Amino acid sequence: MKDNPEYQNQTLEEEVLIKRSQRGDLEAAGLLIVRYQDRLYNTILKICSNPEDAAELTQETFVKVLEKITDFRGKSSFYTWLFRIGVNLTLNFCKRRGRLVMQSIDGSGGDESERATARLSGYLLCREKADPVGLAQDKEAREIVLRALGRLDEEQRVVLVLRDIEGLSYQEIAEILDIELGTVKSRISRARAGLRDMLEAVLA
């Protein structure tokens, strides 16, 4: 990916935006925010499970990042640095808030929910062919998956979000969470197994 000319152009453009932001250029800072706001918000939302909290934490992350942007030396990518601050803020927030309110991961009941459960079950237990994108668009099915994700403990939820939803590499996750590569791998495997167990319990 790093050999891709488009990627190189984006990186170059990002460097310019960072340098301009370091000189106090608010327009450049605004462009950096627009570039990453959806991905950061999406990740934080999947970790903290509440849209209002996610919006607030996303804003706070950008404020902190832009306040400290003169300290950014480019040792890691800007994206990794941004996510490191955002994820740590979110984890601290989750710890202060206490455990998430335990929710039932069953659907809210009704035909729609039953249909979604059946589709999910058929798909995940490999009983039928299905299009994962189409399934993920199904609101009821998505809710079941997200509730199950929300019931994982925070450490496992974070690695799963960063790896399987955000698509970060082991190395990037290790940098963001400041943990060893081996710890990243073991947490990912525990998290996947945990999520599978929860979904199987509902869908079986």
Residues that bind another protein (CB under 8 A): 23-26, 29-30, 33-34, 37-42, 45-46, 51, 55, 58-59, 62-63, 66-67, 123-126, 132-133, 135-137, 142, 145-146, 149, 160, 163-165, 167, 170, 185, 188-189, 192-193, 195-196, 199
CB of residue 178 vs another protein: minimum separation in angstroms? 20
| CA–CA distance, 78 with 64 (Å, rounded to integer) | 13
Q: Which is nearer to another protein, 39 or 115 (CB)?
A: 39
Element of type H or E holding 117: helix 110-124
Q: Which is nearer to another protein, 145 or 176 (CB)?
A: 145
Q: Which is nearer to another protein, 94 or 191 (CB)?
A: 191
Nearest to 91 by CA among 140, 128, 57: 57
Q: Which is nearer to another protein, 11 or 37 (CB)?
A: 37
CB of residue 97 vs another protein: minimum separation in angstroms? 20
Per DSSP, the three-state class of 130 is coil
Per DSSP, the three-state class of 166 is coil
CB of residue 62 vs another protein: minimum separation in angstroms? 4
| CA–CA distance, 96 with 48 (Å, rounded to integer) | 12
Name every residue whose Cβ is closer than 8 Å to that of residue 127 and which is 6 or more positions away in sequence.
121
